[in-house]
A and B are shown apart, each in its own frame.
Chain A
Amino acid sequence: PCRAQPKKKKKVDVKKEQAQKERMKKKIKKLEKAAPELIPIEDFITPLKYSESNRVRSLPALSPEESERRVLLLKKWCLFKQKQDEAEKKAIRALVESQQEALKELRLESEELYQAAIKRDERLFPFERDGPSYTPPLPGYDAPEGKCVDITKVYTQ
């Protein structure tokens, strides 16, 4: 008597659910086919207002003494930088050499310690360091209250 209708409902429901699931799977497959994209970096895109303007800066003409002075200064700076670079390279070489010598001596002393010294240090990473600052924070400074709002543009695919 009342059996036919409930059975129909069940069948239709199951079929609908299956159809829905298949549709969702197809959508997922389609979305997954598209490769993930990298977020575009705003640093590398010059804003249009810097390329549209027509005004050009005209520099004043340099006197020969001034240009001589500049060229000589440039040469002195080059020499200074070269000396600095050489000193750095020398320091690195000295560090590496002394390290190798120390390891050699250690090896002669005991093999176990040498092996333990060569192994990598797990506590080295992650390593964080803040750069030196021109104006370090003052000790007794009372800053005004405020907040920071993150307004980065969120890109979605």
Chain B
Amino acid sequence: DALLGCHRSYRSRPTHGIGRFRYLLPKELPKRRKEKVQMKEIDTGTEYQYGDVNIQMTSYDLCLVEHFAQYVHRLCNRLSIQVNESYAMPTKTNEVLFLEERGSKMQLDAVLTTHQRVVQIRGLSSTFAPILLEVIQSNQPEGVHLLVKQHTEADFKSRLKSRPELEELLAQMS
């Protein structure tokens, strides 16, 4: 019992480290805590290169917009354009009401959901930009509205939740 109970490692003996097994198991990655949502630096670009460019696709049809976004992403991969991010903006729901012919009551016609997908690219050269725009335009599906613009901080902030309490307190302070 005394021999089994003791944990001394006899470093001079050949049996040193006889019970080791942790080095044989697969490496466990340290648990990642939730990464804080931080704004990445916005690249403005040089004279011959556009910086961060957002390609925003909006439509009422979810499948079309998703597939078109995937197509644009793959196209950029194929043309070796660096894609920073490819994300979805929150969906907007609209209730369409119309006035009945007889009577003054507004009747519910339909509930429409507008979906938007964004593909963010970096390092688009000035000579290649018109070609890329041509290709995207020629493959634009029906009902999908395309908008290409430069990335700004306001665009990033629109994805975050609003904090009314913080804004109230800041307004009170100043």
Contacts and interface: CB of A to CB of B under 8 A. Distances in A.
A24 interface: yes
Question: From DSSP, what is the main secondary structure of chain B's interface residues?
Answer: mixed
Interface in B118-156: 126-131, 133-135, 137, 140-150
Interface in A18-45: 21, 24-25, 27-28, 31-32, 35-44
B136 to A, nearest CB: 9
Contacts of A133: 142-143
Interface string A36-60: 1111111110000000000000000
Contacts, number: 156
A118 B47 CA distance: 9
Contacts of B147: 126-128
A29 to B, nearest CB: 10
B145 A130 contact: yes
Nearest to A37: B161
Contact of A32 (B89, B95, B106, B166): B166
A35 B91 contact: no
A157 B92 contact: no
B133 A127 contact: yes
Contacts of A31: 163, 165-166, 169
The contact size tier of chain A is 35 or more
B78 to A, nearest CB: 8
A78 interface: no
Interface residues of B, number: 62
Contacts of B99: 144-146
A148 B95 contact: yes
Interface string B76-105: 000100000000111111111111010000
A144 B102 CA distance: 12
B47 A120 contact: yes
Nearest to A85: B78
B95 A39 contact: no
Contact of A43 (B62, B97, B165): B62
A95 interface: yes
Contact of A156 (B36, B101, B164): B164
Interface string A100-135: 000100000000000000111100111111111110
Given A129-B145, A129-B146, A152-B93, 9 more contacts: A24-B172, A28-B173, A41-B90, A120-B48, A120-B49, A134-B142, A146-B109, A155-B161, A157-B162
Interface of A: 21, 24-25, 27-28, 31-32, 35-44, 88, 92, 95-96, 99, 103, 118-121, 124-134, 144-157
Interface of B: 36-38, 45, 47-50, 53, 59, 62, 79, 88-99, 101, 106, 109, 111, 115, 126-131, 133-135, 137, 140-150, 159-166, 169-170, 172-173
